[in-house]
Amino acid sequence: MKNSLLIEKAYHNGSFVESDKTFEVINPSTLKSIGSLPDLTVKDCQKYIKTAHKAFKSWSTTPVGERCKIVRKLFNLINEHRVEMAEIMTLESGKPINESQTEVDYANSFMEWFAEEGKRAYGETIPSLAGNAHLQTIKQAVGVVAAITPWNFPLAMITRKVAPALVAGCTVVLKPASQTPFSAIALAKLADMAGLPKGVLNVITSKDSKGIGKELATSELIRKISFTGSTEVGRTLMEQAASTIKRISLELGGNAPFLVFNDADIDKAVTGAIAGKFRNTGQTCVSINRFYVQEAVYDEFCSKLTAAVKKLQVGDGLKKPTQVGPLINQAGLDKVKEHVEDAIAKGAKVETGGKAITGLFYEPTVLSNVSPDSLVAEEETFGPICALFKFKTEEEGIALANDTPFGLAAYFFSENVRQCFRVADQLEAGMVGINAGLISNASAPFGGVKQSGLGREGSKYGLEEYLEIKYLCFGD
């Protein structure tokens, strides 16, 4: 089976390039190599940055209608190649093929959204407080953008950055995760076919994330860095970016709570829990990490959730009807094992699962009676584990949910409308799912508070991240 978008090259200045030094990309389902890519260096990175910088002048002054047309064309091309794109994604990330298909379409929805929204970078006219001066604002591209993306959404985390950057008039150096770089190169191929001018998008592939990251974060030529990944790396990039006072957007770790109140529709809550927990084998930054269930409905929720989890099919993502794939790598699997063992040692009961299967696969697991001092309460597990905690009052539930340095997504279930408003107002999170386990949407602002990040992606706010406001004062 030949996939024409599986290209073993990096993308620089409109050309697909090779290198003597390469690294292999492993399929986490089979542990076999899919192919290899150039292992580029900091020196190469400097070249990529210069190229993007050179392309900035003409791209930022290309009429916005033209920029949006190219992004719209890219949207159409991704649509035409959605099956090939999904296959590449499953091969490199292990996610079930239907999830990859959903991600390709979700990723592409940012192309569609920003191809439209890019045309609406409105400025303002402002009344002058004194004299007859005319005051107005215009919006202009920030400059060269560095985008650093993770492996859990190999395409969507890229398009969320690249689409608004391109329509705003920015040029881009993209460094995808070394575990899942093929989706990024496939996107570059389609962008090339869409007629994106040379140097506007450059994709650097490398195993040296630290070195490349530092170069991107400290380069004088780069004016903005947009990162999705761990809080730890986000903190490092923020420190490094301070040296040149860059604009910065960070989508970092979460530790999402999921509250089930006594007034919840339990069947709906179970459906929401499965969707919000097991997508991508629990490896998303908005994955539910802590289940807080109110006393009166605890037993019912626990038994219905356990029954639903037992039905999940685990396996190779390319084989139907797989619903849950492998963990991304050994470190990911080890963390899941550590969290489960720690919870059990502190008194948790295994309702189902609780063991590794083979390779990088782990059983979908439900743990009840989990102690609040367990690792799973404090850190993101990033795996197929449901950890259930009990609470008594609404106040206590909210306090437990907020007891974390993170604040990306939070979810709760209740049929009581007054409770819905009360709880939504008090949860410390950038996004709240109310009777909903899946919340991501290109038209809505995605982002976190506290140590989960800075800025918003998607929506009209996602465009602003790539625009500067310039104030013009016309004297009287």
Q: Catalog residues that contact ligand ADP under the rule CB under 6 A.
A: 148-151, 177-178, 209-210, 213, 229-230, 233, 236-237
Q: How far apart are CA 121 and CA 434, in angstroms?
A: 31
- Joined tokens for residue 234: 């986000």
To the nearest whole angstrom, how small is the minimum distance from the Cβ of residue 436 to ligand ADP? 24
Query: Is 281:335 a contact under the CB 8 Å cutoff?
Result: no
Query: Is 163:111 a contact under the CB 8 Å cutoff?
Result: yes
Q: How far apart are CA 34 and CA 8, in angstroms?
A: 10
Query: Please, which residue, 226 or 322, has the CB nearer to ligand ADP?
Result: 226
Query: Please, which residue, 152 or 368, has the CB nearer to ligand ADP?
Result: 152
To the nearest whole angstrom, how small is the minimum distance from the Cβ of residue 383 to ligand ADP? 12
Q: How far apart are CA 144 and CA 171, in angstroms?
A: 5
To the nearest whole angstrom, how small is the minimum distance from the Cβ of residue 328 to ligand ADP? 8
Query: Please, which residue, 149 or 440, has the CB nearer to ligand ADP?
Result: 149
To the nearest whole angstrom, how small is the minimum distance from the Cβ of residue 233 to ligand ADP? 4
To the nearest whole angstrom, how small is the minimum distance from the Cβ of residue 150 to ligand ADP? 4
How many secondary structure helices (H) and strands (E) does the chain include?
A: 15, 22
Query: Please, which residue, 207 or 304, has the CB nearer to ligand ADP?
Result: 207
Is 251 part of the annotated catalytic residue set? yes
Query: Please, which residue, 304 or 335, has the CB nearer to ligand ADP?
Result: 335
How many beta carbons lie within 10 A of that of residue 427, not counting itself?
Answer: 22
- Closest chain position to ligand ADP (CB): 213
SS3 letters for 152-187? CCCCHHHHHHHHHHHHHCCEEEEECCCCCCHHHHHH
Query: Please, which residue, 235 or 470, has the CB nearer to ligand ADP?
Result: 235
To the nearest whole angstrom, how small is the minimum distance from the Cβ of residue 211 to ligand ADP? 8
SS3 state of residue 188: helix
Query: Is 185:205 a contact under the CB 8 Å cutoff?
Result: yes
SS3 state of residue 200: coil
Q: Which residues of 228-256 are buried (b: 16+ CB within 10 A; e: fewer)?
A: bbebebbebbbebbeeeebbbbbbbbbbb
Alpha-carbon separation of residue 369 from 21, 350, 398, 412 (angstroms): 51, 9, 18, 19
To the nearest whole angstrom, how small is the minimum distance from the Cβ of residue 414 to ligand ADP? 32
Query: Please, which residue, 148 or 264, has the CB nearer to ligand ADP?
Result: 148
DSSP letter, residue 414: -
Q: How far apart are CA 285 and CA 152, in angstroms?
A: 9
User: Beta strand 15-17 with 10-12: parallel, antiparallel or unpaired?
Assistant: antiparallel
To the nearest whole angstrom, how small is the minimum distance from the Cβ of residue 28 to ligand ADP? 13
Active-site choice (251, 363, 394, 457): 251
Query: Please, which residue, 381 or 414, has the CB nearer to ligand ADP?
Result: 381
Element (H, E) at 54: helix 42-61
Indicate which residues carry an active-site annotation.
Answer: 251
